Each structure stands twice: as C-alpha cells, then as structure tokens.
Amino acid sequence: MDAVSRKRVIVTGMVQGVGFRYHAEAEAHGLGLAGFVRNRSDGTVEAEIEGDDTAVERMLTWLRTGPRSASVNATQVTDLAESGEPGFSIRL
C-alpha cells in the first residue's frame, strides 16, 4: 500500500460557475480520496485531498485540467499533515 498524504491545491483560471466542484467531488470519490473542495471569494477553487499517494497524484493531474467546461491557468500545491478526515465533500 502507498503512503498517505494530504495536499492543499489552489486552482486558478475560469474555474467557478462551470461545475468544477461537482466534477472534482466525483473524481475524488472515484479515487477513494478524502477532503473537500470549495469556491474562494477571489475566484479560485481550493481543494484539500487526502489518500494514498497514487490516488493523490491522479487527482492532482486531474485538477491541472479540470472538467471540459473549465479553463485552468495554474495550480498551487502545498503539503499538509494528514487529518484522517472521512469522505470527500463540497464546502460552501
């Protein structure tokens, strides 16, 4: 089994109002990740993802592109301590 890690990702670009959070939630569920995704007041999307390293890397790859309706300009990734949070959700 892979090691577990948690990452905070700030996604910039045309990422609000395009279903980004809902697609991200579905992708995270499919990968078995924990954490959350939310819109930020500055127009970016923030996600925290936690799980085995392989799944986290796959989610990071997905976040760099997002759904077809989005246009991602950049992602900023920060390492966090694992929290053991159960499940993945959309936060307001």
d(CA 6, CA 15): 22
Q: How many alpha carbons lie under 13 Å from residue 65 in its C-beta half-sphere?
A: 7
Choice among 6, 8, 21, 73 that is catalytic: 21
Choice among 38, 39, 68, 91 that is catalytic: 39
Catalytic residue status for 21: yes
Q: Decide if 3 contacts 50 (C-beta within 8 A).
A: no
Q: What residues are labeled active site? A: 21, 39
